[in-house]
A and B are shown apart, each in its own frame.
Chain A
Amino acid sequence: MSRALGWLMLAAALAIPQVSGSSAWLTFWITTLLFAYLGQAWNVLAGYGGQFSFGHAAFFGTGAYIAAILQVRYGVNPWIAGLGGVAGGGIVGAAIGWVSFRYGLRGSYFALVTLAFAEVFRVLANAVAITGGGQGLLIPLKPGVEHFQFVDRASFYYLLVALVVSGVLIARWLEASRFGAWLVAVRENEDAARALGIRVFRVKLAAIALSAAMAGTAGVVYAQLFLYLDAGVAYGGHVSVEALLGPIVGGLGTALGPVVGAILLHGLGEAAKGVVGATPGLNLVLYGVVLVIMLRFLPNGVVGWLKRWGQR
Chain B
Amino acid sequence: MTKTLNRRAVLAGATAVAGTIAAPAIVGAQQAPIRIGLLHPVTGALAREGSQCREGALLAIEHINAAGGIKSLGGARIEAVLADAQSRPEAGAAEVDKLHEAGVVAIQGPFASGIALATTQAAARHNLAHLVDVGVVDTIVTRGLSNTFRFGPGFGAITRAALDNLVRLNDGAGKPVQTVMVIHEDSAFGSGMARLMNEELPKRGFQVVETIGHPSPQRDFTNIALRVRQARPDLLIPSNYLNEFILMARTLQQQRISVKGIYAVLGGAASNIRFVREHNEAAQHIMDCNHWYDPRKPQSQAFAAGLAAKSIDLTYETMLNYANMQVLADALERAASRDRARVIEALASSTFNDHIMPYGPTKFENGQNTGAQAVNTQIIGQRIEVIFPAAFASATPVFPVPSRG
Contact = CB atoms under 8 A, between A and B. Distances in A.
Nearest to A133: B191
A286 interface: no
A230 B118 CA distance: 12
Given A22-B101, A24-B98, A226-B93, A280 B84 contact: yes
B143 A141 contact: yes
B126 A228 contact: no
A284 B213 CA distance: 30
A291 to B, nearest CB: 16
Contacts, number: 93
A118 to B, nearest CB: 14
B142 to A, nearest CB: 10
Nearest to B83: A278
Contacts of B222: none
Interface string A127-162: 100000111101011000000000001000000000
A61 to B, nearest CB: 14
Interface stretch (B3-11, B182-190, B251-259, B280-288): B182-190
A127 B143 contact: no
A94 interface: no
Contacts of A22: 101
B114 A278 contact: no
B108 interface: no
Interface string B35-54: 00000001100010001000
Question: What's the interface size class on A, roughly?
Answer: 20 to 34
A166 interface: no
A281 interface: yes
A26 B94 CA distance: 10
Contact of B97 (A27, A135, A138, A141): A27
B140 to A, nearest CB: 10
Main secondary structure on A side of the interface with B: helix
Contacts of B93: 27, 226
B176 interface: no
Contacts of B98: 24
A136 B116 CA distance: 13
A245 to B, nearest CB: 15
Contacts of B294: none
Given A24-B100, A135-B192, A228-B118, A31 B94 contact: yes
B213 A126 contact: yes
B43 A284 contact: yes
B190 A134 contact: yes
Given A23-B126, A27-B97, A141-B143, A134 B191 contact: yes
A124 to B, nearest CB: 11
Nearest to A222: B90
B174 to A, nearest CB: 35
A138 B117 contact: yes
A233 interface: yes
B170 interface: no
Interface string A236-262: 001000000000000000000000000
A302 to B, nearest CB: 24
A228 B114 contact: yes
Contacts of B184: 134
Nearest to A35: B90
B100 A23 contact: yes
A6 interface: no
Given A24-B94, A27-B97, A228-B117, 6 more contacts: A31-B90, A127-B213, A134-B184, A141-B124, A227-B121, A228-B114
Interface of A: 22-24, 26-28, 31, 126-127, 133-136, 138, 140-141, 153, 222, 225-228, 230-233, 238, 273, 278, 280-281, 284
Q: What 10 pairs across the A-B complex have the smallest Cβ distances?
A: A134-B191, A280-B42, A24-B97, A24-B98, A27-B97, A23-B97, A278-B82, A228-B117, A126-B186, A135-B188
